[in-house]
Homo-oligomer: A and B are copies of this chain.
Amino acid sequence: MTASRILFLVIDGLADRPCPELDNLTPLEAASHPVLDSLAQNGVTGIMDPIAPGVRPGSDTAHLALLGYDPKTCYTGRGPLECEGTGIRMEPGMIGFRCNYATISPDGLVTDRRAGRVRDTAALSQAVQDGVDLAKFGIGFVFRSGAGHRAALAFKGDSLGHCVSSNDPKQDGVPPSAISPLGDNTPDKKTAFACNEFIRQSAEILADHPLNRERERQGLCPANIVFLRGAGEMGRLEPFGKKYGLDGSVIAAASLIAGIGSAVGLERVPVEGITGSQDSNIRGKIAAAIRELSHRDFVLVNIKGADESGHDGNAREKKAFVEKVDRELAPLPGLKDTLIVVCADHSTPCSIRDHSADPVPVIVHGDGVRTDAVNEYGERACARGGLGRIRGADLLPIARDLINRAHKYGA
């Protein structure tokens, strides 16, 4: 028997280190998760360095690696992937930024770095798109709103660099920084110039925009300046379908993850009520994934939430969230004809409130796998598993082989 499709479930920031407040268990080890344990018991387990041992992954570089794209060759910054996440179609060589709407006072000091968490900024972004003129500098651009106060900006033009600073001063009460090249390269200078020009022109448009005037009348912070950060040059990403011969989709609330999926050619599947946070509609995600699997070879589902608790250093909350996730995974063990892969994109230990390079536990469950003696899902349990210690880039090739879609190399 051989499964014919792959469900790739990435529980963001799940893995951790022993937490004193949990009797030196990790949140995953301390939590009750009978569904994950059942997958582990009937599957094969292991531990995985998302990128390489000792390398602390971002969610972006980790997801690229998990999809088999070497971040060393295709990643220069988060911006281009956020652009994809907001629906901008990035081409290799384009420069992308993640953006925030923010507020500056009439005397030019930053008063709110998130513009009062403004929402529904599409009209503002459209005005900026229509009004800003960079064509005279030989640069095309696309500017689009993202979730909440977020947006994304992409530049297209000859000889543009991505090594530029941000204008976000990271604190209130000071003026925005000027964007400057991070070296002496002409392409970076050209991009920095274009950024400052974009910021200047967009601020003029935003200052007069009726939506901002209305916000001021209501005592709300106007979204009257755009902060640019995470500059990166879009890399050349071989389409997923061509690379693996698999047709796939992605289910993720975070625009970064959805953007990575979209950048490699995975179809983005919308799900009602997903938030990228602990209150997300996980049940809806799993249901959507099962629907997708009826006509896809591969579905990537990213579940956020555990990562948040890790960043907050809240081990008990992380444990409780794992238990919540597990309840929503109840349909998985009964899924027919499906290879189920469960992992995290990185560890987010509560003790350091940030990502770490600790390997993450992995389960591969489905027809034909060589099971092992591990019967629970946990960081230390899976270290005894039959997969041994693998790398993120190995996982999808292993899964593809198990659904019999790998090609023989040689004769």
* Residues of chain A at the chain B interface (Cβ within 8 Å): 1-2, 17-18, 20, 26, 47, 51-62, 71, 75, 77-78, 230, 256, 349, 351-352, 354-358, 368-373, 379-380, 383-391, 394, 396-401, 404, 406-411
A51 to B379, CA, bound (A): 27
> Hey, which chain B residues are within 8 Å of A78, CB to CB?
410-411
A-B contact pairs, 20 of them (CB 8 A): A1-B20, A18-B369, A18-B371, A52-B397, A53-B390, A53-B391, A53-B397, A54-B394, A58-B408, A60-B411, A62-B410, A256-B411, A349-B368, A352-B368, A355-B408, A358-B370, A373-B384, A380-B386, A383-B385, A383-B386
A351 and B410 contact, CB distance less than 8 A = no
> Hey, which chain B residues are within 8 Å of A406, CB to CB?
54-56, 356-357
A315 to chain B, nearest CB (A): 13
Q: Which of A58, A384, A411: most chain B CB closer than 10 A?
A: A411
A20 to B55, CA, bound (A): 41
A2 and B397 contact, CB distance less than 8 A = no
B383 and A370 contact, CB distance less than 8 A = yes
Other contacts beyond A349-B368, A383-B385, A384-B386: 5, CB < 8 A: A1-B20, A17-B369, A47-B386, A54-B396, A256-B411
B386 and A388 contact, CB distance less than 8 A = no
A408's closest neighbor in chain B, by CB? B56
A26 to B370, CA, bound (A): 9
A195 to B411, CA, bound (A): 21
A318 to B77, CA, bound (A): 52
> Hey, which chain B residues are within 8 Å of A77, CB to CB?
411
A53 to B60, CA, bound (A): 23
A409 and B1 contact, CB distance less than 8 A = no
A2 and B352 contact, CB distance less than 8 A = yes
A219 to chain B, nearest CB (A): 34
> Hey, which chain B residues are within 8 Å of A373, CB to CB?
384
> Hey, which chain B residues are within 8 Å of A372, CB to CB?
380, 383-384
Query: A52 and B2 in contact (CB under 8 A), knowing A57-B409, A71-B409, A370-B18?
Result: no
> Hey, which chain B residues are within 8 Å of A57, CB to CB?
408-410
A410 and B59 contact, CB distance less than 8 A = yes
A168 to B2, CA, bound (A): 32
A409 and B51 contact, CB distance less than 8 A = yes
> Hey, which chain B residues are within 8 Å of A407, CB to CB?
56
A408 to chain B, nearest CB (A): 5
A150 to B60, CA, bound (A): 52
A48 to chain B, nearest CB (A): 10
Query: A388 and B47 in contact (CB under 8 A), knowing A17-B368, A411-B78?
Result: yes
